[in-house]
Amino acid sequence: MDAGANCNLPNYESKTPLSAAASEGRTEVLHILLGKESSTTDVDGCNEDGWTALIHSADRGHLECARVLVEHHANIDVVTTNGATALWVATKRGYNEIVRLLLNRSTAVVDVPVGGMTPLMVAAAYGYMSIVQLLLDVSAKFDAKNADGKTPVDLAVEHNHVNCKVLLLLRQQHPLLYFAKAGDLPRLMAQLEIPGVSVDERDDTRKTALMYAAVSGHTHIMRHLLSHGADMHAFDMNGATALSLASGECRALLEREMLHLLVRQGKHQALRELLDENDNLDIEQPDEDGTTLLMTAVDSGEADIVKLLLDQNADLNAKRVDGKTPLILATEGNHLGSKAYLEKEALFREKFPLLYEARSDNVVATRKLLEAGAQVDERDDDGWSALMYAASMNNVGVLKVLLDFGASIGGSDKGGKTAFMVAPNKEAFVKLILEQSSSELRFSEQMFKGAIECDPKLGKAILDEFVIERGRYNLEFRELDRIYGKGEVHESALYSIMHLDTAEPEAKEAVKQYCLQHPMIRRVLQLKWEFFAQRLYIEQFLAYMLLLMSSIISGSFYQLDEAPRNVLKELENFFQPDWTASPIPVVTSIDGTVTEQVDSSGFRLAFNVWLVTFVYVIVAYAIAHYGLKPKRICALSKWCREGTYFGLVKFIVWGDYTELDWSEQIPDMKQWKSYAMKLLFVQSLLWTAVLGIPLFAYIATRSDAEINASKDFIQMFQNFILWLAALYFFRWEVKEMMGYGTRNYFTSIVNTMQMITFCVILFFYVPCQLQIIPETIVARQTQLVCSGLTTLSLWVLFLQFLEIIPSAGYLLPMMKGLMRDLTRFSILYGVFQCGLTCCYYILFQGKIGHESMLKSFSTVFFVLFGQLDQVLEAIDSEKADQPLLYVVGYILLMFHCAAAIVLLLNVLIAMMNVTMQMGLENARIEALVSYAHCILRLELSLQPQERLEMIYIIKPKFLKDIDPAMLYSAPESSITGDELPEFAIKRQEANKFRSIHIKNVVQRVDETQPLIVSASEEGAAARPNAVGILNPAFYEKTTKSEYAPLVEIPDNSTVQFQNDVKAALTTIKKEHAQQLNQLKVQIAELTKSILDYQATTAPSGMVSM
């Protein structure tokens, strides 16, 4: 070039140096050829076909070469001899970046066709979606047709390019949506000005222009659409909104606009739900005028939303462009509610900086305030502490700081809410509490209930914190009285375990494994058994024995052939007996003759048995009721150990507790309690003998005539006792029903059966026996049937008393499974039973055992139990006269025995065997469950005052002489107007005991003194000032061996390892599935490429290059 060489001389391929360099992608050569000022190189030089260097670079895809040529003013619109342009060539080759470069310089040849094919048609035919987008953005004709009359859409459909087809149809049918997608604001604005065009126009997929702009990231388009009222809440056919499709700045813009729109529309609840679901929403994002969400709420007069935003720590000091703050806006607009909230919040942040920083999740500021001496348990005017604010906002960092500084997790606000109740993630909150402050943890039943509902392991972890190991063999329990439960039974730890609010069997089994067999809960069960359950169980057992014996004797005494009795006449005969009268003759039902049916010896024996039962029950019940109460049995044990017999009698009669030192720890107290119980049992036998022997002697000296003369009165008296015993249990069932709730009570079949049985005895059977309901209304046979059924029902219900026996208690839950097996078997066997009954009746109708369909049914049924005599007799009777029936009968009998006895009974045995095996595996834990159910059922029948009397040996003075209604009423100041009625009721029930405040009663100085709890207190000086005595059983040491696990708890490390392995395998499977899908896609693309290559080199109507 320096020597004057001709730079435009072509070679043998008709390429100039510039064209050759552009064709080979030699950018540096192009710079040399075009860069010098003395260069004579023709940038638009072409060969005989009209191909320039720019067309060569476009054909080969050399973007940098094309950029150099364009920068040196190469003619973009040059057309070759066959009509091709650089744009057309680049489009055909699919070089979208070169197409973009060329379109940025010139769009003059965008619709120039080659062989009738425009660049847009070529791009659509080859499936170059990005090039289609570029061409449409410069207004390429999307409705042009080639020589075959096909448009770009037709070509895309013909060659199965779905994306190109969708894009072209969008431009053709929904230009507004296309302009939004392309980010073309001028044409979008022009489109919106056309009459009938809606800003919320939708395509076939239900997408709007706002969605397309959000996906494409065109914030300027979104602002314009939103200013025209575009619907941000619209859903496409997949349920997606513009917000869910947006990202980056577009998402932030939509979030801001959505929040401002909700505020302006006053949708308080929707805004609350949105903020709860999206923790990362920026409520401080201002618009173009600097208006924040809080300012919009103030301007709109939405006081409730102002309060909501302030609770989310909205900035009070933010300023608009005009310098106005939210408070100034509230004052100018006379929004009194918003102004009050703003002033209150400003005062709160000034007065309680620790609480505000805790709510704002400012860990550093919270720590600095605590280090500077701020009170960690400081509470605001509503009773909320810093821990409650941090828990409600799930501010984990602040929670850790507060717990490090000894924040108390107990206590509640004025509405009864605790930190656990306001925590959104209760499982994480419990774990954090256990990690940070286990040594100072106070038991909270609400937290425990929520923990086991989240994960039973959390419940076990909480209980573990209250068990203290003393040496190698002993255990002590902390907070045992709280875990025992001082309030309502429904709010106790035991009730929460036994009535878990879930329908999943796995969760209930896990609670049994992790919580019910925990040493703490088993100790609670021991205490409840000792305090009240043992006494109530013995009382009910004794009363039930009297009820059962009275029912049996009543039915046995009631003779079918006796004439109706006149109760008033019997009473007269009893008080003025005629000893010379003979027994009343009765008419037999056989021949109408008069005979005497008086079994004096049997009646005397039955009456003696019933009288023994009656006397023992009365004596033992009285001794159990008064002797087994916690205060008496504890005091009795001390007297048995230290006192004299005279002192014991004095204690039993007057019950003097004042001379005993209740704070004294007695190591062998359990043994002396056992001894005291044995003493009470001996006393019951002794007093039964003392009272019973004279009665038995009196009866033994009476003649048969005297006994028979008093028979009717004795029956009447015995029926009256039956009625009283049934009334006793009916009363207990009513109390239990009130404890459980009517609906929950009757969900149990046992409860329903009990209530029906006792009601029948009370209101039907005994009134019939006493002739209150005459026999003219209820026949004797009906009364006998009623007596038999009630006696059977009472025997079945007697199984409940086996719940506390370890060797039999586990069988009761197993019976439910066995009954289910029997039901399934009955359905299967019922088909065979009905079929065989019909067959036997047809073959042997009228024969013995088959006189009727019902008798045939009974005969066939008893074959199941080996009763073949009647069937064989019926078959043998046909041997002589009808041999065919004889043969068929034996074949039928053999099939019957094989199917019913061999096959079906073995199926039943196998089913029951599986049920038994499953039951035996968990036999010990199921026995504990039955035991716990028994105790809980008894506890539900107690009054709250009774439960308190068992917890305290001597109640605190502030609990004495208090109206129970006052005892369990919350202070009026603790109820706020914001509290829902159902929550208020629940809270009052939950805090019945703990809501006892000294300000509710007349104040005394000593009422604020601590209870005597153990000898470890500074007892001697403190005891005179103590106001009450907690039951010493709460502080007894126990051995570890008493609470050995009943079933093995799965090792957490093993379970965790297994879960990790499962998770790893799942991840590997997903990755393999993804790789397989990718491989399938690649194979599909490769197959498509091969098919395209095998097809013609150009689509129909295209000129080949």
Question: From CA 66, how far away is CA 103, in angstroms rounded?
Answer: 12
Tens-digit pLDDT profile for residues 95-125: 989 998 988 888 888 888 888 889 989 998 9
Question: From CA 326, how far away is CA 349, in angstroms rounded?
Answer: 16
Confidence label for 566 from pLDDT (cuts 50, 70 and 90): low
Beta bridge partners of 1039: 474
Instruction: Note whether 63 and 117 are same-domain residues.
Output: yes
Tens-digit pLDDT profile for residues 891-905: 888 888 888 778 888
Confidence label for 437 from pLDDT (cuts 50, 70 and 90): low
3-state secondary structure of 280: coil
Instruction: Note whether 433 and 537 are same-domain residues.
Output: no
Beta bridge partners of 1012: 1029
Q: Are 757 and 790 in contact (CB under 8 A)?
A: yes
CA atoms within a 13 Å half-sphere pointing along the CA-CB vector of 586:
13
Q: How many domains does the chain have?
A: 4
Q: Are 398 and 366 in contact (CB under 8 A)?
A: yes
Tens-digit pLDDT profile for residues 325-357: 888 888 888 888 888 888 888 888 888 888 888
Lowest mean pLDDT among 79-93, 490-504, 592-606, 983-997: 983-997
Q: Report the percent of the chain where pLDDT is more than 90.
A: 4
At 794 the pLDDT is 92
Structure tokens at 524: 């609670």
Tens-digit pLDDT profile for residues 267-314: 778 777 777 777 667 777 777 778 888 888 888 888 888 888 887 788
Confidence label for 541 from pLDDT (cuts 50, 70 and 90): very high
Contacts of 866 (CB under 8 A, 6+ apart): 901
Q: Are 337 and 302 in contact (CB under 8 A)?
A: no
- Most confident of the following: 555-564, 661-670, 906-915, 986-995: 906-915
* Choice between 5 and 1026, residue whose per-residue pLDDT is larger: 5
* Choice between 630 and 661, residue whose per-residue pLDDT is larger: 630
Structure tokens at 249: 């700045």
Residue 1081 has pLDDT above 70, yes or no: no
Confidence label for 1016 from pLDDT (cuts 50, 70 and 90): very low
Instruction: Note whether 230 and 140 are same-domain residues.
Output: yes
Q: 904, 921, 938 — which closes off a domain?
A: 921
- Find, among 620, 636, 634, the residue nearest to 530 by Cα: 634
Q: Would you list the DSSP string of 545-612?
A: HHHHHHHHHHHHH--TTPPPP-HHHHHHHHHS--TTPPPPPEE-SSSS-EE----HHHHHHHHHHHHH
Tens-digit pLDDT profile for residues 145-162: 888 888 888 888 888 888
Instruction: Note whether 521 and 536 are same-domain residues.
Output: no
In a domain, 823, yes or no: yes
Question: From CA 270, how far away is CA 259, in angstroms rounded?
Answer: 10
Q: Considering all CA atoms of the chain, what is the largest pairwise distance in Å, rounded to the nearest integer?
A: 168
In a domain, 629, yes or no: yes
Instruction: Note whether 745 and 834 are same-domain residues.
Output: no
Mean pLDDT on 233-254? 78
Mean pLDDT on 931-959? 75
* pTM metric for this prediction: 0.54
Question: From CA 231, how far away is CA 840, in angstroms rounded?
Answer: 78
Instruction: Note whether 397 and 457 are same-domain residues.
Output: yes
Q: 190, 223, 250 — which closes off a domain?
A: 250
At 1077 the pLDDT is 67
At 561 the pLDDT is 41
Q: Are 991 and 486 in contact (CB under 8 A)?
A: no
Instruction: Note whether 490 and 559 are same-domain residues.
Output: no
Q: Report the percent of the chain where pLDDT is more than 70.
A: 79
**Sign, Cα dihedral of 672, 676, 679, 681:** negative
Chain centroid to CA 398: 28
Structure tokens at 294: 């809080």
Instruction: Note whether 90 and 214 are same-domain residues.
Output: yes
Instruction: Note whether 679 and 766 are same-domain residues.
Output: yes
Residue with tokens 């859409």: 153
What Rg, from alpha-carbon coordinates, does the chain have? 47
Mean pLDDT on 455-466? 82
Contacts within 8 Å (CB) and 24+ apart, 834-840? 836/860, 836/892, 836/896, 836/900, 839/892, 840/871, 840/874, 840/892
Residue 890 has pLDDT above 70, yes or no: yes
At 998 the pLDDT is 28
Residue 1098 has pLDDT above 70, yes or no: no
Chain centroid to CA 536: 34
- Find, among 999, 979, 1001, the residue nearest to 988 by Cα: 979
Lowest mean pLDDT among 246-260, 493-507, 584-598, 637-651: 584-598
Residue 759 has pLDDT above 90, yes or no: yes
Structure tokens at 377: 């348990």
C-alpha torsion 309→313→317→321, nearest 10: -50
Instruction: Note whether 42 and 21 are same-domain residues.
Output: yes
In a domain, 495, yes or no: yes
Contacts of 38 (CB under 8 A, 6+ apart): 1
Question: From CA 577, how far away is CA 373, in angstroms rounded?
Answer: 93
> First vs last Cα of the chain: how many Å apart?
34
Q: Are 723 and 760 in contact (CB under 8 A)?
A: no
Confidence label for 599 from pLDDT (cuts 50, 70 and 90): low
Q: Are 337 and 310 in contact (CB under 8 A)?
A: no
Instruction: Note whether 681 and 732 are same-domain residues.
Output: yes
- Find, among 169, 238, 241, 239, the residue nearest to 208 by Cα: 241
Q: Which domain holds residue 571?
A: 532-580+597-808
At 544 the pLDDT is 92
Q: 192, 223, 250 — which closes off a domain?
A: 250
Contacts within 8 Å (CB) and 24+ apart, 804-809? 804/529, 804/537, 804/930, 804/931, 804/934, 806/924, 806/927, 806/931, 809/926, 809/927, 809/930, 809/931
Lowest mean pLDDT among 166-180, 270-284, 554-568, 1034-1048: 554-568
Q: Are 394 and 424 in contact (CB under 8 A)?
A: yes
* Choice between 979 and 462, residue whose per-residue pLDDT is larger: 462
C-alpha torsion 847→849→853→854, nearest 10: 160
What angle in degrees, to the nearest 10, is found between the helix axes of 883-896 and 811-844?
A: 170
At 213 the pLDDT is 86
Question: From CA 332, how far away is CA 337, in angstroms rounded?
Answer: 13
DSSP-derived secondary structure letter, 999: G
Lowest mean pLDDT among 300-309, 313-322, 567-576, 640-649: 567-576
Residue type, 812: L
Question: From CA 561, how far away is CA 597, in angstroms rounded?
Answer: 9
Q: Are 564 and 775 in contact (CB under 8 A)?
A: yes
Q: What CATH number should be reported for the domain holding residue 28?
A: 1.25.40.20
Residue with tokens 């059924």: 789
Strands (E), 22-79: none
In a domain, 854, yes or no: yes
3-state secondary structure of 3: coil
In a domain, 176, yes or no: yes
In a domain, 304, yes or no: no
Q: Are 319 and 325 in contact (CB under 8 A)?
A: yes
Lowest mean pLDDT among 199-203, 227-231, 584-588: 584-588
Residue 589 has pLDDT above 50, yes or no: no
At 593 the pLDDT is 47
Helices (H), 955-1011: 964-967, 981-990
User: Please, what is the Cα angle at 663 between 660 and 669, to 5 degrees?
Assistant: 80
Q: Would you list the DSSP string of 762-831?
A: IIIIHHHHTTSS-TTTS-HHHHHHHHHHHHHHHHHHGGGGGTT-HHHHTHHHHHHHHHHHHHHHHHHHHH
Residue 744 has pLDDT above 90, yes or no: no
Residue 577 has pLDDT above 80, yes or no: no
Question: From CA 959, how far away is CA 953, in angstroms rounded?
Answer: 13
Mean pLDDT, the chain, whole residue set: 77
Residue 615 has pLDDT above 70, yes or no: yes
Mean pLDDT on 709-720? 80
Question: Number of H helices and number of E strands within the chain?
Answer: 57, 7
Confidence label for 574 from pLDDT (cuts 50, 70 and 90): low
Structure tokens at 433: 């509490």
At 436 the pLDDT is 64
3-state secondary structure of 398: helix
In a domain, 82, yes or no: yes
Helices (H), 183-267: 185-192, 209-216, 219-227, 242-245, 248-265
Mean pLDDT on 1037-1059? 67
Q: Are 117 and 1101 in contact (CB under 8 A)?
A: yes
In a domain, 486, yes or no: yes
Instruction: Note whether 648 and 666 are same-domain residues.
Output: yes
